[in-house]
Amino acid sequence: MTAAKAEGTGIPPADPGEADLTAIAGFLDALWMERGLSDNTLSAYRTDLSKFAVWLRRHGESLLSARRHHVLDYLAGFSAAPPRSTARRLSTLRRFYQYQIREHRLQADPSARVESPRLGRPLPASLTEREVEALLEAPAVEEALGLRDRAMLEVLYATGLRVSELVSLTLDQVSLQQEVLRVTGKGSKQRLVPFGEQAADWLVRYLDEARPAILGQQVSDALFPTRRGRAMTRQAFWHLIKRYALQAGIRREPSPHTLRHAFATHLLNHGADLRVVQMLLGHSDISTTQIYTHVARERLRELHARHHPRG
């Protein structure tokens, strides 16, 4: 039975052919060498390309023999999926085929004239300054773990770090004297991020009082270790934020990036330059940062409507 005839019979889908696996592996190796992408990003590319390769194999084609109508038919099968998912799949195919053209394995890109679905950029969920204050005050700082959590929240709000960047901080990445962090972000890019006096005060208090009590006799280079002496996971810290948000009476459920969004929005609300916010957040493209200008404008509209006599 051919792969095409097997479709819909309950037989498990075929794996990508050997040539497709080789093409995918070469593409991912090039991405890693050129862009330094994370394992998670490379895995997402591999998954998208492998699924398309399996679909093509069922139709008697391969990645390097696909035509525009194959791309259109494949993406049409995801009509019920969110537009953002379809756009991501198409973006993967475009990057793959552009690489093949650059390597002179193809002369034409089958995805080139395929339109990407229109996306409305969602505004990131943020918190008001009052909500942030309530969240920061939620941990019980008379306890070692509570003091650690307060220091983590203070650093997160003061710097706008990604949660993964925060939990992976080590002692040698912190300069209390200069009040800066040396952060390794996406693509292994390093940046210096200031954290200010208040976060510095909480860090000093945490390092003096709480960290030794948490570690006991253990040795760890993690800035914010757990009682096991290991760095906290992103998921564990997310659960902490959710718990403290509930304690603080914040009705909206926070996301892992809630304080990062608040950091950027509040900076812009207080007059910070967009380029400065871009550098602090570690965005390679300023268009990624510009979404926060929309959040700031919405906040200004709300304030105007609430307080202006003709609002």
Give the catalytic positions in this structure.
Answer: 162, 186, 257, 260, 283, 292
Contact 259, 271 (CB under 8 A): no
Contact 61, 71 (CB under 8 A): no
Three-state SS string across 78-115, please? CCCCCHHHHHHHHHHHHHHHHHHHHCCCCCCCCCCCCC
- Which residues neighbour 104 within 8 Å (Cβ) at sequence distance 6 or greater? none
- Cross-strand partners of 162: none
Look at residues 173, 180, 176, 166 and name the one whose alpha carbon lies nearest to residue 224: 166
Three-state SS string across 169-225, please? CEHHHEECCCCEEEEECHHHCEEEEECHHHHHHHHHHHHHHHHHHHHCCCCCCECCE
| Amino acid present at 226 | T
Which tokens go with 218?
A: 């253990």
Distances (CA, A) of 76 to 39, 116, 117: 29, 12, 11
Contact 134, 249 (CB under 8 A): yes
- Which residues neighbour 274 within 8 Å (Cβ) at sequence distance 6 or greater? 268, 286, 289, 290, 293
